[in-house]
Amino acid sequence: MAEGKILQRHSASIASESTLTSQLEITLLIVLGMLAIILLLISDQPLIFKEQPPTILN
């Protein structure tokens, strides 16, 4: 019975570490995604070329 309790505590420890790691990874991905979006929005050169109206030559 004592061995079962030790295994149960060990399993709970592993599960909590796994949950913490996955939450950290998700948070990091969200932060990096937001940083990428901000960098794309403040760049001087547009990444997508917009259609320009035709110029009329005299």
pLDDT tens digits, one per residue of 8-57: 999 888 888 888 899 999 999 999 999 999 888 887 766 666 666 677 77
The total number of residues written for the chain in this structure:
58
**16 Cβ contact partners less than 8 Å away, ≥ 6 residues apart:** none
- The pLDDT, as a whole number, for residue 17 is 84
Would you kindly state where each structural domain of the chain is located, as residue ranges? 1-37
Could you give the dihedral angle defined by the CA atoms of residues 10, 14, 20 and 26, in that order, rounded to the nearest 10 degrees?
Answer: -170
The CA distance from 46 to 52, in Å, is: 13
The CA distance from 36 to 24, in Å, is: 18
- The pLDDT, as a whole number, for residue 33 is 95
- The pLDDT, as a whole number, for residue 43 is 73
